[in-house]
Amino acid sequence: MSSGQQVLLKLRKMIITGELEGGHRIAEIPTAERLGVSRQPIRIAFRLLEQEGLLIKSPTRGYIVREISEKLVTDALQVRGVLEGLAAKTVAEQGLTEQQKDSLLHCIKEIDQLFADKTEFGDLELERYHHYNLIFHETILQGANNLALRQALSKNNQLPLASNQAIVYDQQRALSEYHRLHYAHLQHCSIYDALMNRQAGRAEDLMREHSCVNILGETVRAILEDHHECMTLVKA
Q: How far is CA 25 from CA 31, 46, 55, 73, 178, in A?
A: 11, 12, 9, 21, 33
Task: Tell me: do 45 and 89 sit in the same domain.
Answer: no
% of the chain surpassing 90 pLDDT: 55
Number of compact structural domains in the chain = 2
Res. 109: pLDDT tops 90? yes
For the chain, how big is the Rg over CA atoms in Å? 19
Task: Tell me: do 55 and 84 sit in the same domain.
Answer: no
Contact 26, 63 (CB under 8 A): yes
Please give the model's pTM, rounded to 2 decimal places: 0.80
CATH label of the domain that carries residue 45: 1.10.10.10
Q: Which tens digit of pLDDT belongs to each residue from 94-103?
A: 999 999 999 9
Q: Could you tell me the residue range of the domain that residue 21 belongs to?
A: 3-65
Most confident option among 33-42, 176-185, 195-204:
195-204
Task: Tell me: do 146 and 207 sit in the same domain.
Answer: yes
Res. 222: pLDDT tops 90? no
Task: Tell me: do 56 and 82 sit in the same domain.
Answer: no
Contact 31, 42 (CB under 8 A): yes
Q: Which tens digit of pLDDT belongs to each residue from 80-98?
A: 999 999 999 999 999 999 9
Residues 6+ apart with CB under 8 A from 151: none
52: in domain: yes
55 DSSP assignment: E
Task: Tell me: do 34 and 91 sit in the same domain.
Answer: no
Q: Which tens digit of pLDDT belongs to each residue from 10-66?
A: 898 888 878 888 899 999 999 999 999 999 999 999 999 998 888 999 888 889 999
